[in-house]
Amino acid sequence: MNPDSFVKEQLQKGRDVVTIRNYLLSRNISPKEVDASFDRVYGANPKKKPLEKFVIAGLIFFIAILLVSSYTVYVKLTTTSEISPRNNVETSTSGDIASGNTGLTQPDMTCSNVGVDKKYDCYMNLFEKGEGSCYDIQNENEKSYCYRVHDYYILESA
């Protein structure tokens, strides 16, 4: 029995679609095959619309972007970097540490004449005593370094 021709004949005779379907199912024809016969008789085309493909592709793309950005944020939040400006000392400054010249005798109270290895501690000591002020320093590199040490001092004291 050809289900396509049977469905056509029964529809031409005025039979109900549900009755035709139930009869074919009772003859051990698979529901998938019965539905396919009705689709062929009525001319239905079960192809996916192009819009659906674009929507699915867009969702996959959106999820991929979301995953990548989440991973980037996670990596940035979990990596720790050294905040201390000790590792970022200007090497162009020099001073005579052996002679005791700490640079604290200058009117602007900077540590610009202190050796590179002692500069950080010099500024930290000034800030602990409440005598440090980065505002009046004339040298921009020295001023920038002073502010970085001051920020670190604030972070440590909090």
Same structural domain, 74 and 103: no
Kindly indicate the confidence band of residue 143, based on its pLDDT and cuts at 50, 70 and 90.
confident
Total structural domains in the chain?
3
In this structure, the answer to whether residues 114 and 135 fall within a common structural domain is yes
Same domain? For 68 and 93 the reply is no
Same domain membership, residue 149 and residue 98: yes
Q: Which domain holds residue 70?
A: 47-80
Q: What angle do CA 74, 76, 80 make, to 5 degrees?
A: 115
Residues 59 and 108 in one domain: no
pLDDT tens-digit map of 76-133: 887 755 555 555 544 444 444 444 444 443 444 568 787 777 888 888 888 888 887 8
Contacts of 102 (CB under 8 A, 6+ apart): 95, 111, 113, 114, 118, 122
CA of residue 53 relative to chain centroid, distance: 27
pTM beyond cutoff 0.85? no
Q: pLDDT: is 31 or 115 the higher one?
A: 31
